[in-house]
Structure formats: structure tokens, C-alpha cells
Structure 1
Amino acid sequence: METAPVLIHIFNRPSLVPNLIEVVRMAKPKKLFISADGAREDKLGEKELCDESRKRILELVDWPCDVQTLFQESNLGTRYALIAGITWFFDQVEEGIILEEDCLPNESFFKFCTTLLEYHRHDPRIMHITGTNQQFGKKVGDASYYYSCFPSIWGWASWRRVWKLYDPKMSLFPELDKENMLLNVFSDPVIVEDLQIALRMTYDDQNMTWDHQLGFAIAINNGLCIVPNVNLVSNVGVKKIGPQQLDSVVSNIPTVELDVNNIVHPDFYIANRAADLNQITWSYEDTTTTNKTKFKYEQYNKKSSFLNKLKSKFLEA
């Protein structure tokens, strides 16, 4: 089976490139796309790191393949650089695999994605395939993978048909927020409240991420995300946080090879809410990564509540 086209997005960490390319080399995709953000002008030495990353990745690609590049001359920032890279990718291919420089997959990841991209190619219910499993050894069902409501972007694959639904501005969010429609997707009001705050921050450009918009697009289209029953991708770039410089629980999760020659498909096209809840639960317990974010969300929520009260009083007057 020919490996699906692969997009690799790099920035300023040339030391991560060799290990990533070593694994990609095993899959030998015939179409390889490389996107890169430009250096920030105020970061001393960053241009040299960006240049080294670009030079190194091009030198290491030594198998027969069509290599295309999108190297930004100036810094767009994570949100806009990745949106530009992924849009450029799906403008040229119908389906493919996306990896960032700090996402280190194992060999079975590529065949897993390629097989399921083909298997679900014409099924609009399926919108996302991830290689990341954050159940920490807990198996979900008897199949090779399960369905989730949440798209993980640490090594993933999708189709052009899905990316066409992506709206970086989340134009429909105010209507969804007003009608509290997320309760139709997630039944737990606590989860819904936290997701609404996160999406509201992204909508208001208080959080400059790009993946919340992908999750939003999938949610409002009632889409399903595929999650392997073992972890196929390790994020080796999660920064240590806090005065004790602790590792996050999501950092360097070991990968396990999956029997991709005998993939067993789930019997039902239903998101496993218990698995989703389990993932959310540990994410809130992971204080090394979430305390700062939760504080940010809490402050934003307080500010929003205060402004809403002022608005109500103004309207009443």
C-alpha cells in the first residue's frame, strides 16, 4: 500500500528533525510537503535555527519522492503558519497525513492513517484520524480504534472535504454559544462550560491556537474522530512547566506498534463518551500543563461575566 501524502510542519528546532525523518523514511511517502514558519525578528538567533531546520530536513529526505516546500519569509505565528501550511497541502491532495516537528510517530502510524483514509474516504461522518491515544493503557472496546468527539492534532490525518469546513474565524460560534448547542454534542454541562470558554477565547483572539477551530468544525457537523486503541505518536516537544520543571503527563507517552495488517473496525459509529470523559478528566488533573491555562480561562470567564452584567444593567436602564 502506497503511503498517503505527508505534510511536515517545522519551525525552529533542528534537533528534532533527524528522528522524525528517520521514521518517515520507513514509510517512504511518494509525496512529501514541508511547510515552515519564518523567524521572529525579536528573537536573537532564531533565524539561524529556522534556516538550519530547513536545510537539515531537505538533506535528510533521501528516498525517491516529490518534495514541495512552503517556507515563509516572515513570521506568521503558530496559528496562521499552520493554517497556511495545511490549506496549501489540501489544495494539492485529497487526503493526507500531518505531522509537526515535535510529533514522533512509530512505523505503524503511517499505515494506520493510510488504510483508514481509504476506508472512510467517502463517509462524511468520519472527519479526523489521530495517532495519539491518551487513555494510558486503557483499551476502549475490542476494535483497533474507537470513535471520539475530540480531534487530537499530535500526528493526524484527514481529507480535503473536512478542511473545506474549517473556518478560522468560527463565524457560527456566537449562534452556537447563545443557544448552548454544545449540550447536543457533550451531555456534561461542566465539560460544555469549559469548552465554551475555550472556544470563546479563541473566537475573541485571546487564544491564538488553530486547532480549536478544527474541533468546532467537527462538532457543528456532528463528525467523528478516529483514535487508535494504542498510542502511535509521542509528543517530544512539550515544554517543562513550573518552578520544578515537571514533565506533563502527555509528554513523551511511549508508542506501541499496532497490527495494521489486521485492522478491526468498530461495530457502531458512535463516539465513546466514557473514553472522552476519561481523557478530559486526566487533562484537568495534569496540573503541570493546565493550571496556567485554567487560571487564564477563569480570569477570562470572570471578565466576561462582569461585562455581561454591565451590559444587562445598561440595557435595563
Structure 2
Amino acid sequence: MNQNSSIPPSPLNTAVLFLVFNRLDTTKQVFRAIREAKPPRLYIASDGARETKEGESDKVNEVREYLISNIDWDCEVNTLFRDNNLGCKYAVSGAIDWFFKNEEMGIILEDDCLPSQSFFWFCEELLEKYRDEHRVSSISGSNPFKYADNINGEEESYFFSKYNRIWGWASWRRAWSHYDVHMRVWPEAKKRKSHYVFFESKAERESMENIYQQCYEGKIDTWDFQWSFTKSLMMSVTLVSKKNLIKNIGEGVDATHTHHLPKEISDSRLENVSFPLKHPKEIIIDYNKDLHTMKYRFDKFGILKYVKEIIKKVLKKIHLFNEMKKIMYSFSNGKI
């Protein structure tokens, strides 16, 4: 294999969990990428149709039949086809529980997250590299932001983030085993401020506490904020590709959550990472890149307040630095 090639270095050995529902169009696109990668074990999870949605049962069955009839490579197939609709919160979290009950580690794709081919091998290599590294809890191929391009001499293939990214990701049983969809420890964690280590700014803490509280009270039909909460308690980071290996193709009226994506994300290109991967020397959160992610996620929760706090911290550090210089100058000149 040539240096810096995007050609897969070997046959794929990692299992894939494919989460589907009622959208045949996007399912076909993502499945074609999975079929090209040829995972040796494929897990397909499908929530049941909603009784209140006329004709949805036919759509759900059409998706299931398409997938089963088009698996044409040597592959162990496992299915979790729900008879009743559980909703996003329980259908997805339950499917991931099922996946990691059977696999020590693996790749997770939803039916609207289109991967490039190198995404599969990117995950496979890093799942193995960080298998026993508890500071890393997930691997993400989603990076639509242009700020993370390799510039200023940065050569590493990925960086570390405090934020959760679930548009095409991978993880380990050892990390997911801490997950609790009901967030039972939230009241105690809130009292102890256990999550403050990841959310230093007051504005960000307030917004996340509001979201966590709503999840705890069952007011949000989702599973991913609970995963973010779990990761903050573990003080673990997400490994993020510097190339955008995932494109969200689910925008539209039929989408569960992504009815409208920001132009920066909807216009993002699908890329391939080069092999061999270049690894960072240390596991350190890249706060510069996280600032951009935070801006996208928390604008509506008070980004200006956050920026003001950052500025205050920087000015305080500059002040302390200048005071230290004065002290050192006085010491060197015998004034102390």
C-alpha cells in the first residue's frame, strides 16, 4: 500500500450496527456504502411503525425487506425488528444496548448518515488502538466544520473533543456500559456539580443543565444527551476525524430531528482520510476546535455570554503574567 493512500488497508473485521426506520431513500444510500465495505457482522435495528401515522407500517416493512434481500456478501446478519414503536429514546438506546451485548466494540450508523469508505477503516484502526484507553469513549467521523482542516503544520489525522458526535461513530462495550437512558444519578451529579469539569462557562453549564433536567424528567424523546452526560461523568473525550467522513443526508420533512441543517453542514463535502493514520502524541482536548463546535451548538443558549467569560479569563491570565514579570524583575534587581 502506498503512503497516504485512502485505499482500505485490509478487509474490514469490525461489526456495524445499522439503525433504520421508515426512509427507504436515505437507507439505500447508506446501505450501499455498508455493502461496499462488507462488514463481517451486520446488526440491523428497526423501530416499529407509529399507529398514528397512516401508511408508516408499509414504509417500515419496505425498508426491512430491502435490506434483507440485498445483503449479498459473506456476512453474519442479526436483526432487531420491533413490533411496536418505542420512539427515538428507547429504540436507539435499546439497539445500542443489544449491539454491545454481542460485540466488544463496533461502528454505529443511522439511516441518514452517509459514510465515506475510509470511515470504516478509520474506526477499525482506532477502536483497536484505544481499546483499553478509558479516557476515550467514542470515535466520530463527522466533522463538517472547515476550521479543523490540517493547517499551520498540523499533520495528525484526528483530534480530541469534549463534545459528543453521533453522526457516524464507534465505541466500546466498556464505555457504553456506563450509559443510563434514565439518568438516575443526575440529581446527585447536579448537586455535586460533577459535570462542571467539561462545561466551564456559566452559559454552557446552564444550557446543559436545562437539557439534562428535561431528559431526566422524560420531556425529551432522545437518547444522545444521556450519552453526553455519561461521557462528562467519565471525564472521557471523543476522537474526531479532521476530514469529514460523514455527510448527513436526512434533512427534510420526514426527518425525526434534522428538519433543517445550517448551510455550513448541509453543504459539507464527504471526504476520505489517508492511511496510515497519523496519531497525536497526547490525549488532550483541542479547545480551539471545540470553541467552534460550541458556537454551533450553543448560540441559542447565550454564546455571547460564553465569549465574554473567555475574554475575562484571558485578560485575567495576562494580568497575572504581567504581575509575575514585575515580581521576577524586582527579584533579579535585588528589590525583593
Which residue is 1:53 aligned to?
63
Against the structure 1 CA distance between its residues 246 and 88, is the aligned structure 2 distance closer, same or farther, given a 3 Å change threshold?
closer
After superposition, where does 1:136-175 map in structure 2 within 5 Å? Answer: 136-139=146-149, 141-175=154-188
Task: Give runs of ≥4 in structure 1 deviating > 4 Å.
Answer: none
2:268 matched to which residue of 1? 253
Of structures 1 and 2, the larger Rg is shown by 2
Structure 1 alignment gaps of length 5 or more: 296-317
Determine which of 198, 201, 204 is the counterpart of 1:185. Answer: 198
Q: Is 1:14 paired with 2:24? A: yes
How many angstroms apart in 1 are the aligned matches of 2:88 and 2:235? 27
User: In the TM superposition, what whole-angstrom CA distance separates every residue of 1:127-163 from its partner, at most 9, and x where no partner exists?
Assistant: 1001101422533743100001112111110001111
Give the TM-score normalised by structure 1. Answer: 0.85
The C-alpha deviation readout for 1:49-99, integer Å capped at 9, x for no partner, is 000000111122111101110100010111111111111111111000000
Q: C-alpha distance in 2, partners of 1:84/1:233?
A: 23
C-alpha deviation, 1:204, in angstroms: 1.1
Distance 1:18 1:41, change over 3 A: same
- The aligned length equals 284
**Distance of 1:134 and 1:188 partners within structure 2:** 24
**Secondary structure of the corresponding residue to residue 227 of structure 1:** strand
1:112 paired to 2:122: yes
Kept in 2, the 8 Å contact 1:12–1:53? The answer is: yes
% identical aligned pairs: 35
Higher deviation after alignment, 69-78 or 133-142: 133-142
**Secondary structure class of the residue paired with 1:7:** strand
Could you tell me how far apart the structure 2 residues matched to 1:247 and 1:143 are? 28
Preserved contact between residue 17 and residue 56 of structure 1 (Cα < 8 Å): no
> Which stretch shows the higher mean deviation, 136-145 or 181-190?
136-145
Q: Report the counterpart of residue 285 of structure 2 in structure 1.
A: 271
Residue segments in structure 2 that go unaligned for 5+ positions in a row: 1-9, 303-336
Name the aligned partner's letter for residue 295 of structure 2. Answer: T
TM-score (norm 2): 0.80
Distance in 2 (alpha carbons) for counterparts of 1:281 and 1:30: 39
CA RMSD, Structure 1 to Structure 2 (Å): 1.9
Distance 2:107 2:124 in 1: 8
Deviations 1:169-199 (A, max 9, x none): 1122112222333322222221111111111
1:21: how far off?
A: 1.5
